[in-house]
Structure formats: structure tokens, C-alpha cells
Structure 1
Amino acid sequence: MIESLPLSGPGGLPAHGVDFTAVEIRTTGLRPGHVVELAAVRVRPDGSVAGEFTTLVNPGRGVPSGSAIAHGVTPAELDEAPPFGAALGPLLELCQASVVVAHNLPFVAGFLAAEAARLGVRVPALPGVCTLAAAQSVIGLPNYRLATVAHAFGVPGTPAQPASTGARTAAQLALALFGKHGLTFAARPGFPVLPTYGVPGRLRPRADVSPGAQSWMAEVVERVTIGPVAGDAALGYAYLDLLAGVVSDAHLTHDEVWALAALATEAGLPEAHVRTVHEQFVAALRDVAEADGVVTTSEARELRQVATALGLAELVGDLPSGSGGKPTRVLVLGTTAAADRFRARVLAEGVQLAKKLTATVTHLVRDDTVAAHEPRLTRAAELGATVVDVGAAPVVLGFEASRREPPSVPPPVVPPAVAAVPRPAPPRRQLAGPVAPPPVPQPAGRLTKVVGGRVLMGVGLLLMFSVVLAMFGGTPLAAGIFVAVLGVGALLGGWWIAEPAPR
């Protein structure tokens, strides 16, 4: 009846002009059986509501109505409700030329197909989108229950038990996924012509239930990492969603546990497997409770009550309680994808994510869509909370290390192996003889005398050389002797002047 469309990122076909019809059901069990409540909400791309309806559904004479923990409806209410045939016509009319969306679409589609088959109605395949699977592709969360995804996406309110609240929430998730998170269609959706179907019957809507104050257990469930059970992902998510929903009121009774066991058995889940799931669930609850280092007396009491009801009291027997300190509690304001991703980051880090500003909030994170004059910013500062932009929040909250700017001129990189071994000193050159002492610098006056003396000695040598040449040329002996005496005198005088000073 509903076929899931392949989705893509920014490079695909945008959802401009496409309406979404969100469908939510409540059923008699976990396997395709009977629908006991149906709700549908059609929204336009601008977020306006084009139409909606909701009704309780009588599963038929002799058909068990199922456990109240699965749908919260009494048998008396179902006795006065119309059959599914009265709701199929309005559903097909609302879905005409739109994309059907549902959280855990395979689970919803299986029940709707089973109901249509009982009526003998052939419905062409409707294009559909699973908001659970789509959310997994764009954001990281501990779990993908409808309430958890809605909280991360900043969708106001809490999906309560009536199907109408779940349908409205799924519609808002679809708009966010194809809007600010940029999902597109991998192929153009085809819209078949749907048959007209109608039987006499007045719809019987269930009154909306205003969600009360959220318990600590309901808040912890959002941070617990849970995934599908067994090989059937649709069944697994449905059971864990049911388990978490029952646990979240912190008043789990033995009757509710027995009802859960009956639903699991009816769906074909082995008892040993269900117990293992419960053990993992309680252990995860404890891990999240202790993650912030603060377990109050009331928190310990709620956790022990749930564990005891599930027959797993030993898993929390040594749970400390009454520890001091104030746990980190973060409120994120903003409507951008960055704000959504940081809400998911807070839950994934095991930190409490607040829905509104109270005295327990320790950090208020804002994105660019929050005006500077937003009153909650001032009020948060008055309450002592740290106000920070979404870009700096991961570092402020300790999710990431501080990013330091690199130096303008990076130091040379020395390989560790080279740096660890000292460089040997160059070998000394061995000399053959003694090393002469370095020259002693001479005073300026002494240097002048040495130069003058050497010049005079040069003149003396030149005169003596000239005498020798003259004698061979026939110069008189007396003249030769006279010049030779002058040469010897100049030589001796120059030597005396240039003689080194005594030391």
C-alpha cells in the first residue's frame, strides 16, 4: 500500500510544491493485525495544515482489543467506534497527490495493508517516506524514537499517546528533513489515482491529552542507546518504543510487564531474547544515569523501581544515590540545522537536554536565529547559566578540545628517531708537530718602527748590490768603498730599528 521513496542529499530533486500526509496508528499488537486508532495530518510546504482527521477504530466483533499499554484505549471506547472502513475513505482522500510519511513506515504500512486487504480494497502503491530512517541519515542520536527525534529537531510539545499528536509531530519532522536539513528525492514521486471508498459511519476522535510534567525517567530514556530487536527492524523499533514509553512514566507495574511479555510472545519474540533486551535496556539506563556523576535519591528510586518490575533488581543493587553536585543541563534555542545537530550531540554525549528554561539549566546555547534581545538570554544569565553560541558550545561543554591557532612560522620538524640520538662531535684533526701559538697583536707605534726599519734595510741591501755592479763596471775603489759603507750602515740601522722589543 505504501512504498518507501529513495532519498538523496542536496543534489537530488527538491520537495518544492509537495504536500506531506503524516499517518499514525495505534494497534492491537506488534504484528500486522488490527488498527484501533488512526490519525492523518496533511501539511503544505509552507507548514500550513491542509487537512486532518483522527478516529478510534473498532477492530470487529470477537477481535481482542489488545492491551491498553499498546494504545491506551478502553474496550468500551472501541465498542462505540466505527470500523476501519469508515476511516479508509477519508484517509485515501487526504493522501491523494501527496507523499505519505510515518515514523517507522514499514510498521504502519503493514497494518494499513492488512486492514485494506480485509475489506477487499486494492490500493495503488502510495509514495512514502519513513521519518525514522530519514532522521538516521542526517543526524546522530542515541535512539530514534519519535519523542527523541522531535526533541532534537526542536519540535514543540511531546508526542503523547493519542495518534493525532504523533501524526502532527511526524508532519513537522518531514518539513524539517526536506527543509533545513536538505533532504531531496532521488527520483520524482509518482502519485497514483486513488479509489473512492466510503461506508456509512461517523468518525470518533479521541480527545488530545495534554502532556504533563516530564519525569526524570522519560528524560533519561531519550539518552539511552537502543536499536532494533532481532532481524525485523520494524518490529524491533516498535517493541523498544513501547517498552520505553511504558518505562518513561516511572511507574512500571507487574501487570504492565506481563502485558509486554504477552505482546512480545504474540509477535514471535523468544522469551530469552526479550529478557536479554530488558537487561541491556536497564544497563543502558544506569549508564546514562551515572554519566554526569550525579545520581539523586529520587533518580535512584525510579531506576530501582523499573529494574525491579522487569525482574532485574540485581543490575542496580549497588547503585549509589544522594551524590552531591549539579548535573549539566543544556537548553538549545534556534531553528537551524546547526541547532538540531547540537541538540542531538547533547543527547549523544549523555547530557540532559532541557525543553524550557528553568533554574536547573546550566547552559543556554543559541544559534543565529535567536535575537539578541530574546528575554530568555537575560533570564538565563540571571539564573547563573552560561550563555554561548552554538559554534563555541562543543568546546565550552567539554565535548571537544579547544582549537589553538598554529604559529605563523612553524618550527622545523625533526623526526623522532633523529631527535632522540645526539649528534656526534666531528673528529679532531691530529697535527704532526707542535701547534704554533697564535700571533700576538702589536701596538700601533711599534708597528710603524718595524715598517721603517725594514724599508731602511732594503735600502742598504740595494746600495750594496749597486756597489758590486759598479766595481765590475770599472768604478774607482774609493767610491765603491764609500757607497758600500753607506749600504752596510743602512742595513745595520734598519735591523736595529726593526728589532723586536724585549719581552
Structure 2
Amino acid sequence: MIEPLPLHGPGGHPAHGTDFTAIDIRTTGLRPGRVVELAAVRVHADGSVAGQLTTLVDPGAGVPPGPAHGITRGELDDAPPFGEVLGPLLDLCAGSVVVAHDLAFVSAFLGFEVSDLGVRMPALPGVSTLAVAQSVLRLPNYRLTTVAHALGVPARPGQSALSGARTVARLVTSMVERYGFTFAAPPVFPGLPRFSGGRLLPRGEVATAEPGWMADAVERVAAGRDGDTYLDLLAEVVADQHLTPDEVTALAALAAEAGLSEARVRSTHEQLVTALREIAERDGVVTAAEARELRQVATALGVAGVDVRPTDGGKATRVLVLGTTVAADQLRARVLAEGVQLAKKLTASVTHLVVDATVPAGEPRLARAAELGAEVLDVRGAPVALGFEAPAVRAVPSGGRLPKVLGGRVLMGVGLVLMFIVVVAMFGGTPLAGGIFLAALGVGALLGGWWIAEPAPR
């Protein structure tokens, strides 16, 4: 249903002036199956919103909605089937480039739903923000929340598909503007079938709680470049700091449905808990709340031997990076990759505030940071100040040795002249004692000049 259209640097077909329609879905499982919620947000290249839709989708009578997204089976009973949602979705996408974070995942689920309807669809051009992020940033993982945080997108995806679609829309327009991406080929917008009618049932917006330590920690959990779908889902579920028995049961069922062995599931659980424990201890400070959350997650996932005790090693390093340049993006990614806490706003727990050239001198948070005792750094010097890189060793200027070199060479010249005089004098009948004296002076001048002019050992 969606054909990937790669983005790359300058030199291709311009992306400015193009409309993008960001799509996010909530599904019943890990592999192509049923969609239970869909949202799409159409934006112009400047980021302004041109239209949006969101709806729950009934996957069929009695089909469970799956974990992690807060949708109940009762809510789906009144929702329209996918066939009633497809028309409004295509109307919104017409003449635009489709964007999804994990484009392959979204395309597979939508393609399954369309094929189940018996509808033949031309391929829509699509962009993956995950693939684009992998090409420009080195991150511990490339989940949507992590990428959004690294690019300073001021929104945290919540449980709803609409929150995710809005975040994807902000990501793609930020990437195009900030990195100057162009299309590898001009996008081709096919004619799309029209469907009459169409019914939508939006899910009520739920105010998401302020993310706690666990949500911050899972952004720093390393994953392979190709990702791990089950690990990503697991991280999403534990990010709310609590695992219910129902969620654990649903996760086990999804893993089995996806063909994951019991050993693979157990290994993934251990991988996540071990990484969270290392992150907690690496911060230098483990609060009682953090230790309690980690033990709860470990117990729920059946991971034994996790003994994290509260410690007080001082104030943990917590960095807030302000700015919209590529350098600011790279530093935010570096902070996450180094396992350091990356703050989303300025609070008393922030130890370092980093700014780039886009931050005005009158930015109120600069003065507030000084009041809170946070160190203010320039983005260029921050990697060294934060301990990510060693200070550059300055080379001794070559001009500093120039006088010594010249002096040594002059002295060597004097020695050569004296030796020449000795040779001439000896042939002219000069007494032996005088010749020896002059020869000694010449040799001394030669050796002394060579010692002065010789480069110092490195």
C-alpha cells in the first residue's frame, strides 16, 4: 500500500512545498493483524496543519485490542470497521507523501486490512522517520519517543494514535527544514479510489501524566539498529512505571503469537531489566522510588536477582539542551547515547543547560539556570565539559622554536668556518697547539649547534 520514498541530503527533488500526511496506528499484535485505532495528520512543509482524523476501529467481534494503548474491548464494540475508515483516510492522504515512524510496520498492517476488504490500491509514496533518524543521529534506540526527544520536538507521544501522528508530523517537517533533506526521486501521487460515506469514532483525549524516571530510562536502553519489536513494545508498556498482571499476560500472548520462543522472551525481559538497573546505578543516585519501580518491573516480568538499593552519591548529571540546530540535535543524541539523563524542561534537578546559536541572549531560562546553580554551556564545548570527550591537546606552535633553531644553525655555521680555518692554517705552517685549540672550538660549536637545533623528542 505504501512505497518507501527515501530522503537524502541536498541534490535531489526538493521536499519544500510538499504536503505530508503522518499516520500512526494501534494494533492487536506484533505482526500484520488488525488495526484498533488509526490517526492521520496532514501538514504543509512549514508544519502548519491542513487536516486530521482519528478513530477507533473494530477489528471484529470478540477480538482483544492488545496491550499498551489503553483501549478496551467495550470501546471497540461501537467503533466502525476498517472499511468505513478507509475512505476518509484516502481523502486526507490524496496528493501528499505519507509518513510513519516505522513505515514498514504501518504499511504491513494497513495492507493487511485493505487486502482483507478485497480493495486494489495503488502504491502511495511514503517516508519513514525512523530510517531518516538512523541516517543522521546515533541513538541508543530509535523508538518514536527517543527520536522526538533527541530532536527537541516539544511533545511526548501518549497512548493514543493521534498523539503519535502529531509527533511524527512535527518530526518530518523539522527534519526537512533542519537537515535540508530532498527526495531521492519526485513523488508520484496516484489517483485514489473514492468511497462513499464513512464513519469515525474518535477516542477521547486522555491527559498523560508527567513522565517519571522509568519513561526517561527506557529512552536510554540500547537496542540493535534494526530494533526489536517485542523489546520496543515492552519498553512502551513499562514506561508508565507499572506493570499490571493483565499487561504481562497480554504481552506473553503477543510474543507467542509472533512466534517468539519462551527463551527469547525471557532473554528480552532480562535484557530490559539489566539495562534499567545499569542506568539507575550509572546516574550515581538511586532514589527509593526508582529502586521500588525497578523491583516492581523485574518481579512482574519474572526476572530474579535484581537487588537495587537506594543510594545517595550526590546530584546526578542531568542535561537540558536548547536550540534547533543540527549541533543541538547531535548533542541531545550524544547525551542519550552516553546514558546521561536528558531533561525536557528546566527544573532544580538540571545540572547543565546547553545552548546553541539559535538561543537568544535574553532567553529567561539562562538566568533561571544560574539561580538554580546549573552550569550554562555552549553546544560546541559541551562534550568536553560533560566528560564525553577529552580536552584537545594543543600543539606547540612551530614559531616558538624558531629562534632556537636559527641560533643552533648559526652556531653550527661558526663551527664549520673554524674547522675550515684550521685546515688552511695547518697547511700554512701554523703551530700544532694553535691548530688543536681552534679545532676544539670548531667541534664544540658544531656539536652545540646541532644539540640546540635538533627537534625535541615527542
TM-score (norm 1): 0.78
2:130: which partner in 1? 132
Partners of 1:357 and 1:108 lie apart in 2 by: 35
Task: State the SS of the aligned residue for 2:29.
Answer: coil
Instruction: Find out whether 1:341 has 2:330 as its counterpart.
Output: yes
The 1-side partners of 2:120 and 2:108 are apart by 14
Do the aligned residues in 2 keep the contact of 1:19 with 1:43 (CA within 8 Å)?
yes
Which amino acid counterpart does residue 354 of structure 1 have in structure 2? A
Q: In the alignment, residue 209 of structure 1 is paired with which amino acid?
A: V
**What is the match of residue 396 of structure 1?**
385
Post-superposition offset of 1:181: 1.8
- Which amino acid counterpart does residue 47 of structure 2 have in structure 1? G
Distance 1:144 1:410, change over 3 A: farther
Secondary structure of the residue that 1:180 maps to in structure 2?
helix
Cα deviation, residue 350, structure 1:
0.6
4+ residue stretches of structure 1 with deviation over 6 A? 435-439
Q: CA deviation at 1:107?
A: 0.8
CA distance in 2, matches of 1:381, 1:116: 56
Deviation at 1:43, TM superposition (A): 0.5
Greater C-alpha Rg: 1
Q: Which residue number in structure 2 is paired with residue 65 of structure 1? A: 64
Q: How does 1:206-285 map to 2 (within 5 A)?
A: 206-227=203-224, 237-285=228-276
Asked whether the equivalents of residues 143 and 225 of structure 1 are also in contact (C-alpha less than 8 Å), the reply is yes
- Aligned match of 1:42: 42
| Residues 285-313 of structure 1, C-alpha deviations (whole Å, 9 max, x = no match) | 12222223222222222111111111112
**285, 289, 292: which one aligns with 1:298:** 289
Residue of 117, 120, 123 corresponding to 1:119: 117
User: Where in structure 2 are there 5+ consecutive unaligned residues?
Assistant: 402-430, 436-458
Equivalent in the alignment of 2:15: 15
Compute the displacement of 1:202 (Å).
2.8
The one-letter code matched in structure 1 to 2:203 is: R
Code of the residue aligned with 1:392 in structure 2: it is: G
Q: Is the 8 A contact 1:36 1:65 kept in 2?
A: no
Tell me the secondary structure at the aligned position of residue 52 of structure 1: strand
2:361 counterpart residue number: 372
- Residues in 1 aligned to 2:387 and 2:330: alpha-carbon distance in whole angstroms: 16
Partner-residue secondary structure (3-state), 2:232: helix
Tell me the matched-pair count: 406
Residues 410 and 276 (structure 1 numbering): CA distance in 2 closer, same or farther, change over 3 Å? Answer: farther
1:146 to 144, 147, 156: 144
- Spell out the pairing of 1:305-384 with structure 2 (5 A cutoff): 305-314=296-305, 316-317=306-307, 319-384=308-373
Identity %: 65
Q: Is the 8 A contact 2:68 2:233 kept in 1?
A: yes
Q: Given residue 225 of structure 1, which amino acid in structure 2 is its aligned partner?
A: A
| Offset of residue 250 of structure 1 | 1.6
In the superposition, the TM-score normalised over structure 2's length comes to: 0.85
Letter in 2 for 1:247: V
| 1:123-167: CA deviation from partner (whole Å, max 9, x where unpaired) | 100111111111101111101110111011111121000000000
* Whole-Å separation in 1 of the counterparts to 2:116 and 2:146: 34
Give CA-to-partner distance per residue, 1:323-342, whole Å, 9 cap, x none.
33000001111111211111
CA distance in 2, matches of 1:71, 1:291: 30
Q: CA deviation at 1:436?
A: 7.9
CA contact (8 A) 1:334 1:367 kept: yes
Q: Is contact 1:136-1:144 (8 Å) kept?
A: yes
Per-residue CA distance 1:423-472 (angstroms, 9 max, x = gap): xxxxxxxxxxxx98779xxxxxxxxxxxxxxxxxxxxxxxxxxxxxxxxx
